[in-house]
Structure 1
Amino acid sequence: MYTASSHASPATTLPREYVHKAAHSEVLLTGWHRDSVDAYTVTAQWPRTHGFYRPARQLHDPMLFVETVRQTIPLLSHVAYDVPLGHHLIWEHFSFSLAPESMRSSTAPAEPVLHVSCTEIERRRGNLAAMTLQVRAERDGQHLGTAVARFTSHSPAIYRRLRGAYGDLQQALDSARPPAPGVMAHQVGRRLHEDVVLAPTRENGRWQLRVDTQHPSLFDHPVDHAPGMLLLEAARQAAHATRSPRPVTAIAMRTRFHRYVELDAPSWIQTSPGSTPDSLSFAVEQDDAVCFSGEVTVSACAVTPQLGLIPTQRVSSPGLTRRDLVSGL
């Protein structure tokens, strides 16, 4: 058991159950310690290549940063706030912003450090009910990015009541629709067809969500709905598809989770112009209801003799205040 002062070796990872992963290879976090009341430092190691979040254009995948933050949520919930293993942690809103120059990949694994402040803490009958994580990350002493995540915590009994007819995991998986044929991988910034989460439609800027419950990373462990990381990946891929064939990278998002995306019905993602020329708004709908929405900011890539294709712009950190019902971590 890890205590408030414990540190894991940079060469090792934390127990997989603390970050809600089934495969050891999916664990990115290596250690943590408490700095002060509700303030923590979390360390991570990014592999030179990942089974799903692979480097591209000599840059680490931005979603690798997102997954690192996501793993920090259950870690601190369990080790610092006494949330029992088996409780369900549900996203309400999430935002991030990256410094692209700090995302360059190299021959050595990257070792980001996350400085985390836990705020807006709510308890119910002495147990953690909700919390916001404010994250500031650095790599090799340089600014890497920021993130804000708001989530709620529910016991298994409460979660089953919230999910109603969808609370039976096996039944939800058995009723899942087969994944629709995807778009061409290169259109969404992917190399492998099995990593594509969008299927084409006859409308510009609109795709069907492609949900493969057998995907080894997005469905590392079985869940009864489309996981939050799949929805975030869909937003990223939709931005790539909208800008295709122009090479871009996603450097910021601000998102809200409104409803669960179920596995037994088709869902759709639509993009539209965002608040700036470099951003796109998006919404995921199912049964005529918005389940997930937000804005993604992309950076065009320019060629440099030393580094190949790299992003050419930076953005400031996005902020969110609204609290909505979300998707599972």
Structure 2
Amino acid sequence: MIFIPLPFVVALLLLILFATVLRRDEEVALNLPFLALILVSALQSVLSGLRWGYGVQGVGLAAPVIAAVVPPLAYAGVFTLVKTSRRSLAARIGLHAVPAILILLLATFWRDAIDVALVLVFVGYAVAILLLMRPGADALRLAPFEGAVPAYRAIIFAAAALCLSAAIDIFVFLDFISAHSERALALISVGNLAALVILGIAAAAASRSRVPPETAEGAPRSDTSEDKETIAMVDALMEAKKLYRDANLNLDRLARKAGIPARQISTAINRAMDKNVSQYVNDYRIGEACHLLSATEKSVTEVMFEVGFQTKSNFNREFRRVTGMTPVAWRQRRG
């Protein structure tokens, strides 16, 4: 009977996930680092299957080098959704190649230090990603508002997966030192595969972004009256142009339409309204959805698309957040 190791199955699932992301019919640019992350995760899973399933020890040198590529790709994918300038990321490509080069050198001259180095790389990039996400969903300035919250959660899961992989490496390292290495194989097989699956799914969930032209930003203002003035200007624009109907609307595009720095809009809404910009825009969408559900015979799905949502899960979640009930229950009560 042909033995197919579990890592090969995981690699196949990741490749299917990659193909699914590529086939999405959306008018938005691909997030190349996240797509590369899915492919690298699949390759890492294949190497794991060769080494632990078929005993191919020749992949032992390549596996840690490939592993060192994963955290920089995850960080680059998040950075693409957060920053308006690609040049700042391009300028750091050499810096982000350092972990893989370091692991390659250690594999050649000091193999015993590889585990410690990988732990530091994974934890360091996880912390860097969490620092980028400090403003919450508003940090994803280039992600459409409709998917900002799911993308934010996916990125947090990706950072958690990096920490999980680091924790597994620590445990395996201690297990080998204590001469009880019989547990290491099972832990490597299950734990690392779980981390790869989480990374792949998280990358797919946040794998789309639109990168607009660069916009200049000033320092955020702190005066409450200025916050109200900023919100009033954005309110007027939202009501006159109905920008919230644009499913791909993001913070940078809203800032360009309003002629106000994105950071200023985010700060004003966070401080004066105690909500993020995604919730602010979705409040407008839900407000019009309530009107359409009450005043027209359009289906819930038609209303969902008309007001700017693209998925029922997001529409139902935001509708319940604003009204406390589902769209169907709202229509029945109003009817």
TM over 0.5: no
Where on the TM-score scale, by shorter chain, does this alignment land: which range?
A: under 0.3
Q: Which structure: larger Rg? A: 2
Q: Which has the higher strand share?
A: 1
TM-score w.r.t. structure 2 length?
0.22
The structure richer in helix per residue is 2
